[in-house]
C-alpha cells in the first residue's frame, strides 16, 4: 500500500513539474507567434493563449473574460470581464497569473508602447473614449459628444486613435490625433462601419461593414479615403485583426450559430480557416 502511495505521489509530482515546465515554456515563448482568442468550448467564454510556433496552449481562469488585447511585450492581456450588471477592464499578468481590475468599460486597446489602455465607457452618459495606465492611474476622457464613441484602436506610432462614432447620425470611422486633438471623419455611409484595426505600416484601416448588403471586411486607405472590399459574404464576418507582418487579416465568421477564425491574404484574397478553438472561436488578437 505504501508503495502505491509513493508511486501516486511521484506521478502527481511529475505532473506538477510538467505543468510548471509548460507554463515557463509558454512564458519563454512570448511573444513569438502568439495569439489569444475566446472560445465557448465549455459553454462559457474562455480565453486561450496559444503559442503557434511551439503549439502550446494555456487557458485563463473561467472568469467570463472576452476581447483580449496583448501588451507590446506579450507579458499581459487587457480583457473585458463581464459582470452581473456591466463589464470592467481587467489586466491579466501572464507570467505571474495575476488579475487586476481597472474600471468599467465597453471596448479596449493597449497602446504600442504599453503606457496606456484606450477604452470606451458610458460612465459619464454617452459612450466616450478614455485613456488609463495599465495600473489604473491617470484616467482621462479624450472624446465627448452627445452620440456614442466606441471601439478605439491605436495607430502603430501611438499618436492617434481610430474609433467608431454615430455623432454624424450613423456609425462611421473617425481618427483622433492625441497631441493636437484633431478629429477626422474617415467614412460616411448609411450602413454601420465597425471594428476598425490599423495596419502595421499605418497606411490602411481594416473594418467590418454591411455596406454592400452583406457582411464584409473592408480596407480603407488613409491617404485617399478609398474603401475597397476584401471579403463579402452572406454569413456574418466581424472583428478584423491584422497579422503582425501586415500580409493578412484574421476575422471571426459566424457559421450555423458558431464562430470560426478565418484568415484572408490582403494581396491575393486567398481565404483559409485557422484551426483554433475547435468548433467555436472568436475575438482573436495577435501579439507583437
Q: Tens digits of per-residue pLDDT, 32-56?
A: 588 999 888 777 778 899 988 888 8
Q: Can you give the C-alpha Rg of the chain in angstroms? A: 20
- Cα angle: 64, vertex 68, 74; to 5 degrees: 130
Can you tell me the mean pLDDT for 67-79?
Answer: 88
CB 81 within 8 A of CB 88: yes
Kindly report, residue by residue over 161-192, the tens digit of the pLDDT. Answer: 999 999 988 999 999 999 999 999 999 999 99
In contact, 201 and 243? CB cutoff 8 Å:
no
Q: What is the pLDDT of residue 83?
A: 67
Contact of 175 with 156, CB cutoff 8 Å: no
Please indicate whether residue 31 or residue 263 has the higher confidence score (pLDDT).
263
Chain segment 193-203, per-residue pLDDT in tens: 999 999 999 99
Mean pLDDT over each residue of the chain, to the nearest integer: 83
Half-sphere exposure of 231 (CA within 13 A, CB side): 29
- Among residues 285, 286, 261, 287, the alpha carbon closest in space to that of 275 is found at 261
pLDDT tens profile 226-237: 999 999 988 889
Which structural domains are found in the chain, ordered by start?
Answer: 186-288 (2.120.10.30)
Burial zone of 283 (CB within 10 Å; 0-12 exposed, 13-18 middle, 19+ buried): buried
Percent of the residues in the chain that have a pLDDT greater than 90, as a whole number: 44
- Non-local (6+) Cβ contacts of 3 within 8 A are none
What percentage of the chain has pLDDT greater than the value 70? 84
Amino acid at each position: 500500500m505504501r508503495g502505491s502511495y509513493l508511486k501516486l505521489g511521484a506521478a502527481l509530482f511529475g505532473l506538477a513539474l510538467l505543468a510548471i515546465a509548460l507554463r515557463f515554456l509558454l512564458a519563454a515563448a512570448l511573444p513569438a507567434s502568439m495569439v489569444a482568442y475566446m472560445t465557448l468550448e465549455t459553454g462559457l467564454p474562455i480565453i486561450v493563449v496559444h503559442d503557434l510556433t511551439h503549439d502550446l496552449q494555456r487557458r485563463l481562469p473561467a472568469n467570463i473574460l472576452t476581447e483580449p488585447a496583448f501588451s507590446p511585450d506579450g507579458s499581459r492581456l487587457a480583457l473585458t470581464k463581464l459582470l452581473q450588471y456591466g463589464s470592467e477592464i481587467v489586466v491579466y499578468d501572464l507570467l505571474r497569473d495575476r488579475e487586476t481590475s481597472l474600471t468599467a468599460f465597453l471596448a479596449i486597446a493597449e497602446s504600442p508602447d504599453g503606457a496606456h489602455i484606450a477604452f470606451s465607457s458610458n460612465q459619464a452618459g454617452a459612450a466616450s473614449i478614455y485613456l488609463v495606465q495599465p495600473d489604473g492611474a491617470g484616467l482621462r476622457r479624450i472624446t465627448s459628444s452627445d452620440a456614442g464613441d466606441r471601439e478605439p484602436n491605436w495607430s502603430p506610432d501611438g499618436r492617434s486613435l481610430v474609433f467608431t462614432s454615430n455623432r454624424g447620425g450613423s456609425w462611421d470611422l473617425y481618427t483622433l490625433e492625441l497631441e493636437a486633438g484633431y478629429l477626422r471623419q474617415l467614412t460616411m455611409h448609411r450602413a454601420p462601419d465597425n471594428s476598425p484595426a490599423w495596419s502595421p505600416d499605418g497606411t490602411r484601416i481594416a473594418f467590418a461593414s454591411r455596406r454592400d448588403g452583406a457582411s464584409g471586411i473592408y480596407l480603407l486607405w488613409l491617404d485617399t479615403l478609398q474603401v475597397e472590399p476584401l471579403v463579402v459574404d452572406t454569413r456574418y464576418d466581424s472583428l478584423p485583426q491584422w497579422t503582425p507582418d501586415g500580409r493578412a487579416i484574421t476575422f471571426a465568421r459566424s457559421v450555423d450559430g458558431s464562430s470560426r477564425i478565418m484568415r484572408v491574404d490582403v494581396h491575393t484574397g486567398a481565404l483559409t480557416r485557422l484551426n483554433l478553438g475547435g468548433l467555436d472561436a472568436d475575438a482573436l488578437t495577435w501579439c507583437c
